[in-house]
Amino acid sequence: MAGFLFTATILIREVYSFHLVSIKNNLLTKRKKMKKVFSVLLVTVIALSASAQKTYVQGGLNLANITKTNNGETEKNNMLPTFNVGLMHQFSLSNYAGIETGLLFTGKGSKAETYFAGGNDYVKTKFNPLYLEMPVNFVLKIPVDKSSGFFVHAGPYAAVGVAGKSRSDSKVGVITSSSSKNIKFSNDDPLTTEQEDAGYDKLKRFDFGLNFGGGFEFQHVILKANYGLGLTKINSTQSDNNANDKNKYRTVSFSVGIPIGK
């Protein structure tokens, strides 16, 4: 009987605790939900790195752009040089295949320059949001020898906006002006179909897309190129990503990786 009462007490306590947790979860704000999503991504990367077969620091150049037309075309003159840096991990499935993931701090966006009055006057704008991005790529390897070879990769990515600035410079006659402001992200919950906290001066905080690329891997250095195909409309007021391919990120990256550890 004493054992039964002890067990019942434990069950009641657990049920009560469960309801308390449920109530607290229902009271979480959208901002806290997004912090949880990012925390899960970060913990996942840390957990994977503990068993990674190769870990390397990556850094390089991004040539960022945003689609201008419904069929996904961009303007070459709008390409914005920015950067990518982070920690990546490789997991070998065989001598010819593997999985690669990690966490990157990466810049996206675009720029625009308009000249008039014979090129003496201008309006220049630069739009440079910064994201924490987690790619998950399947890698196909083509060995050249025991320590080097070619590779190609493809897979999805998820990114969360954390910072960034937009800047505008103009000159009309002898009058020049410039302004700069921080980029704002909406706190929309991506796990719901509702559109929350939208604004014309805000971006969606979350971006999703696909990566395609390849490169060459030596024993002590990795050279890689990547094309990031954004699938999410970046404006917080636009919810139908399948309507067309306008206002989506397109980012070309050239990076160098330096293996660390063993």
pLDDT digits (tens, 9 = 90+) for 113-162: 888 888 788 888 999 999 999 999 999 999 998 888 999 999 999 999 99
CA angle 93–215–127, rounded 5-degree value: 115
Quote the CA–CA distance of 127 and 137 in Å, as a whole number: 28
pLDDT digits (tens, 9 = 90+) for 200-240: 889 999 999 999 999 999 989 999 999 999 999 999 988 88
Quote the CA–CA distance of 166 and 9 in Å, as a whole number: 59
What's the CATH fold of domain 2-114+126-167+184-260?
Answer: Porin (2.40.160)
Q: What residue segments make up the domains of the chain, in order of their start? A: 2-114+126-167+184-260
Transcribe 41-73 into DSSP letters.
HHHHHHHHHHT-SEEEEEEEEEEEEE--STT--
